[in-house]
Amino acid sequence: MKSEMEQDILKVLVTEEELKARVTEMGAELFEKFKGRNPLFLSVLKGSFVFMADLVRACQVQSEVEFIAVSSYQNSTQSSGTVQITRDLQQDITGRELIIVEDILDSGNTLAFLKDYFMSKGAKSITIVTLLDKPSRRTKAITADYSGFTVPDEFVVGYGLDFAQKYRNVPYIGVLKPEVYSNN
């Protein structure tokens, strides 16, 4: 039987199996690059929490984890353009090699803002890892160093990504039925 959430999904874009295989590959690539460098995996909450948990276990390098929370969407599917930090770093990142872990790179507003912010806090290097990339919507000159999947210009949920804070625990990446948005 379908879960109550799965009944709201119109189609699956990336399956659980595809996610697992790609995250494993990305972890191995990051291992090769960062072994011996004690990087700081920095998850951009909330959307990247599932990807972060899988990625750090797929990359068995000596490393640390940190979290920052930002908000730019305010319960809609359109970015407001301004990025607010709602939970700041809890440690000094001076001289650290950062691996920013994002759920999706869309307009690029969030990562453009965060990159400047982390450089101003003294980061030694910044590597951007995003699970999903929607290049068709980019307005800022930001590219990911590592990207899991390129997705079309559709609003996606699951594997950490939400619509109005829901659907984060759907285990794959999918698109919602149009009536779900209009009923909200």
| Nearer residue to Mg ion within complex by CB, 47 or 148 | 47
CB 47 within 8 A of CB 104: yes
Asked if 106 interacts with Mg ion (CB under 5 A), we say no
CB 59 within 8 A of CB 89: no
CB 79 within 8 A of CB 94: no
| Nearer residue to ligand 5GP within complex by CB, 66 or 124 | 66
**Interface residue list for ligand 5GP (CB under 6 A):** 47, 72-73, 79, 102-110, 155-157, 161-163
- Non-local (6+) Cβ contacts of 103 within 8 A are 44, 47, 48, 51, 130, 131, 132, 159, 160, 161
Question: How many binding residues for Mg ion (CB under 5 A)?
Answer: 3
Asked if 47 interacts with Mg ion (CB under 5 A), we say yes
Shortest Å distance, C-beta 80 to ligand 5GP: 10
Catalytic residue status for 54 = no
Shortest Å distance, C-beta 100 to Mg ion: 10
Asked if 148 interacts with Mg ion (CB under 5 A), we say no
End-to-end CA distance of the chain: 25
The encoded tokens of residue 149 equal 């999947």
| Nearer residue to Mg ion within complex by CB, 50 or 58 | 50
Active site residue ranges: 106
